[in-house]
Amino acid sequence: MTRGVLTPAQVDEALLQQSASGKRLGTLLVELGMVDERALIEALAVQLDVPVVDLGQSEPDPEAAARVPETLARSLGVVAVERTDGTLLVAAGDPGDPRLLGELGRAVAPDRVRLAIAAPSDIRRSIDGAYRALAGVSSLVEAFEATESVRGAATGARVVSEDAPVVHLVNLMLTQGLRDRASDIHVEPHGDRVRVRYRIDGALHDVLSLPENMGPSVVSRIKIMANMNIVDRRRPQDGQIATEIDGRSVDIRVATTPTIWGEKAVLRLLDSNRTLLRLGQLGMPAATYERFASLLRSPYGMVACGGPTGSGKTTTLYATLGELNQSERNITTIEDPVEYVVPSVNQIQINDQAGITFATGLRSILRQDPDVILVGEIRDAETARIAVESALTGHFVLSSIHAA
């Protein structure tokens, strides 16, 4: 009112509707046509002492936007605009929301968060553009089919040339998977289509349906990136990709296997830059957290996390390591793969060719005077026996067991 934008009667009407609807006052004022959205933004910017970002004139930096998970950006109504010297400028429709600094700070640590204000409609549009790397897939499919002269096996030019549509497609699949925080990407041929799915929070979600004739080229491109044999399509193969996506170093474990419709590929995304959660950030009920934390105060014993793929076993184990990681303890892990590098922890990678298995590695660790041992996964009876014996002889053992 002090700026002469609203009359007292309009404010009273808006407050009355706010009490009935529960909506924010600013949102109601715009919906009722009492104020222009731009005028409201400028007034709030002055009141909250934050800068105004015009997303109608400029697009968010993709690397900055990718620092905030898409689900969090949508739930809070924010988009990261730029990142400078470890500070992330985040545009919000309501910078006064008390949740923002806390939730964003946890998500983008160790970066700092600086809030700005922008039109909510522009933020929604920017979120759609910033996070949907797969938006251009249809044009890539059309370009692929237009240049294809022979159906069937993928030709070298189609999967090697950096300008080839299938190369761009695979890059977009990886980028979107990382932005969606997918743990795995599945490329599955089924009849006349190739299904692409992301595993997010333990569940698989369909994200793409490609024509059948793209399947061999997509899998061949993935195999080339992983230094695998693209000629041999009849036997399962394993490989590894080290790449950079949105300015972040990412390791990708690739496994292919033949099916009746052609080769299927599964890619495990290991984002070493992802911030490890602390035990208190896992969302455990208070009683469960206290009970679990009390177990970690034992000098010896065993904690085994059970659950299906993507259920959070590894996340829980690493969060537990964070609680136990103190200078007076010797902590050693044996993992397949080593998903995150933990400071001050001795981490061993499984290497079957070199004879390093969970069982042999665990025996070796026991000769290294360990206090805490993490066994990435108990896969056989021998590893289980050694792990239990270790727990009974003065060591604290952490492990996981795959369970449905």
- Tell me if 199 is assigned to some domain: yes
pLDDT tens series, the chain, 404 aa: 444 456 666 666 656 655 656 656 566 666 666 666 777 788 788 888 999 999 888 888 877 887 888 888 989 999 999 999 989 999 998 898 889 999 999 988 888 999 999 988 889 888 877 777 666 677 777 777 777 654 444 455 555 566 688 998 999 899 989 888 888 999 999 988 999 999 988 889 888 889 998 999 999 999 999 999 999 999 999 999 999 888 788 999 999 999 999 999 999 998 776 777 888 888 889 899 999 999 999 999 999 999 887 788 988 999 999 999 999 999 999 998 888 888 899 999 998 889 999 899 999 999 999 999 999 999 899 999 999 999 999 999 999 998 87
Same-domain pairing of 184 and 156 = yes
How do 331-335 and 346-349 pair as beta strands? Answer: parallel
Same domain, 327 and 390: yes
Q: Residue 352: inside a domain, yes or no?
A: yes
Which CATH number is 340's domain given?
A: 3.40.50.300
Pair 194, 71 in one domain:
no
Are residue 310 and residue 390 in the same domain, yes or no?
A: yes
Residues 390 and 362 sit within 8 Å (Cβ to Cβ): yes
Task: Give the pLDDT confidence score for residue 51 in this predicted structure.
Answer: 93
Number of domains in the chain: 3
Q: Are 296 and 320 in contact (CB under 8 A)?
A: yes
Cis amide linkage into residue 110, ω under 30° from 0: yes
pLDDT at 281: 84
> Which of 129, 151, 186 is the last residue before a domain boundary?
129
Can you give the pLDDT at residue 39?
A: 76
Domain final residue, candidates 228, 244, 271: 271
C-alpha distances out from residue 365 to 43, 67, 346, 378, Å = 63, 37, 10, 15
Cα angle for residues 387, 390, 394 (degrees, 5° grid): 150
Q: Is residue 337 situated within a structural domain?
A: yes
Q: Which pLDDT does position 127 carry in this prediction?
A: 87
Taking the CB of residue 270, how many other CB atoms lie within 10 A of it?
17
Same domain, 247 and 187: yes
Spatial separation of the C-alpha atoms in residues 213 and 263, rounded to whole Å: 12
Strand-pairing partners, residue 89, are 82, 114
pLDDT, residue 2, reads 41
Could you tell me the CA-to-CA distances from 19 to 6, 13, 16, 241 in Å, in that order? Answer: 19, 10, 5, 55
My answer on whether 185 and 220 are in the same domain is yes
Q: In CATH, what number is assigned to the domain containing residue 150?
A: 3.30.450.90
In-domain check, residue 30: no
Q: Work out whether strand 203-211 and strand 396-402 pair parallel, antiparallel, or are unpaired.
A: unpaired
> Of the residues 82, 112, 129, which one is the last residue of a structural domain?
129
Is residue 327 domain-resident?
yes
* 150 and 124, same domain (yes or no): no
User: Is the CB of residue 96 less than 8 Å from the CB of residue 45?
Assistant: no
Let me know whether 125 and 239 are in one domain.
no
Report the run of H or E that residue 376 belongs to, with start and end.
Answer: none
Kindly report the CATH number assigned to the domain that includes residue 124: 3.30.300.160
Domain span at residue 252 reads 132-271
What Rg value do the Cα atoms of the chain yield, rounded?
A: 26
Distance in Å from the first CA to the final CA of the chain: 60
Taking the CA atoms of 388, 391, 397 and 403 in sequence, report the sign of the dihedral they define: positive
